[in-house]
Amino acid sequence: MSHGTGPAGVREVAAVFGSKPVRPDPEWERGFAADLREKHAREELLDLFARFRSGESAFERMMRRVLVRAMAKSVGDELTVEANVVLKHPETMEFGDKVFLGAQCMIQGRFDGSCKIGNHVWIGPQAYFDARCLVLEDYVGWGPGGKVLGSAHTGEPVEDPIIATPLVIKPVVIGFGADIGTNAVILPGVRVGANAIIGAGAVVNHDVPDYAIAAGVPARVLRDRRDK
């Protein structure tokens, strides 16, 4: 049922993902994941995950959820892992309750890194995360194709190929309730404030305050959402 009025063809409908309560996962799923973790090496679990990566059936979706629970540092209830999701170093990752990982998204961790994804986080298809030191707080919405770059090469000494120079890893934090637009890019060391909005296609190279709306290349703050 629609709510409100507007131009022809425009509708306002109730939120679905962000408003539903969390349903606890069955205990047998947790037990199954624990058993897999105990009996299989990390490489074997990754191979099992690859077998079920592309399927769309309820069974294959369940197996992806179970295997991520077996591989990750921690996983809450109601994790959704859509088809062709790629996780590098899942043992460094923490997922809260009701996290949605859209089709073909990639989370690239590092063996000594950390990636914390909070509760009720929705990540759109084809998103990419350089998740060597990454935090997505609760209720973050991440548009399709959005990207995080959490590291960069120093480029020094200049006579060396850039990819051969040291890598600098900087934390990226996306605050509570923030919304990241389609194809936006968040650069190393950036904090996006709580309840901020980042416009589609923006390139964010500096911190964004709470409740700000920022857009452009490079992104600049347009206004505070609380201003009338």
Query: Which residue's structure tokens are 């120079």?
Result: 165
Asked if residue 145 belongs to a domain, the reply is: yes
Give the number of domains in the chain. 2
Please state, in angstroms and rounded to a whole number, the distance separating the CA atoms of residues 109 and 97. 20
CB count in 10 Å sphere of residue 218: 12
Asked if residue 1 belongs to a domain, the reply is: no
Residue 2 in this model has a pLDDT that exceeds 50: no
**pLDDT tens digits, 136-180:** 999 999 999 999 999 999 999 999 999 999 999 999 999 999 999
> Is-contact 197 175, C-beta < 8 A?
no
Domain at 175, CATH number: 2.160.10.10
What angle, 0 to 180 degrees and rounded to 10, lies between the N-to-C axes of helices 42-51 and 27-39?
A: 130
**pLDDT tens digits, 86-118:** 999 999 999 999 999 999 999 999 999 999 999
> Which DSSP symbol is given to 49?
H
Asked if the bond preceding 218 is cis, omega within 30° of 0, the reply is: yes
132 and 45 in a single domain? The answer is no
